[in-house]
Amino acid sequence: MGILTYIIPFLFVLGVLIFIHEFGHFAVAKLFGVRVETFSLGFGPRLFGFKYGDTDYRISGIPLGGYVKMKGENLDEKLDYTGDEFLAKPKWQRFLILFAGPWMNIVLAVAIPMFLAMYFYQEARHYSEPAIVGSVAQGSAAAKAGIQPGDKVIKLDSLENPTWRQLELKITNNADIELKVTLERNGQQIQTAITPKSSLIERQKIGNSGLWPQLKEESVLVERVIDGSPAKQAGLQEGDKIVKLNEETVKNYYWLQDSLQNFEGKETLLSVERGGQTVELKMLPRRENDGKVRVGFAPSQEFITPPPMVSGQKTIAEAFKMSLAKNYEVMVLTKEALTQIFTGQRKAGDALAGPIQIAAISGKMYETGGMESLFNLMALLSLNLGIFNLFPIPVLDGGHIFILIIEGLLGLGGLKLSLGIKEKMMQAGFVMLLLLMGFVIINDVSKFFTKGSSAKPAASKPAVAPAPPPAPEAKPATAPPAVAPVPEATNPPAK
Would you please indicate which residues are annotated as catalytic (active-site) residues? 22
Give one DSSP letter per residue of 187-247, joined into a string.
TEEEEEEE-PEEEEETTEEEEE--EE-------EEEEEE-TTSHHHHHT--TT-EEEEETT
Helices (H), 261-354: 316-342, 348-351
List beta partners, residue 184. 152, 189
- The helix/strand/coil state of 79 is coil
**What are the backbone angles phi and psi of residue 246, rounded to the nearest 5°?**
50, 45
- Beta-carbon neighbour count of residue 488 at 10 Å? 18
Closest CA to 258 of 458, 456, 488, 492: 456
Measured at the CA of 438, the angle between CA 434 and CA 441, to 5 degrees, comes to: 135
**What are the backbone angles phi and psi of residue 128, rounded to the nearest 5°?**
-95, 5
Which residues neighbour 269 within 8 Å (Cβ) at sequence distance 6 or greater?
Answer: 244, 245, 246, 247, 280, 281, 282
- As a whole number of angstroms, the distance between CA 437 and CA 186 comes to 53
- As a whole number of angstroms, the distance between CA 256 and CA 219 comes to 10
- Beta-carbon neighbour count of residue 449 at 10 Å? 7
226-235 in b/e burial notation, b at 16+ Cβ within 10 A? beebbbbbbe
- As a whole number of angstroms, the distance between CA 468 and CA 440 comes to 11
C-alpha 391: how far from its chain's center? 20
By residue count, the chain amounts to 495
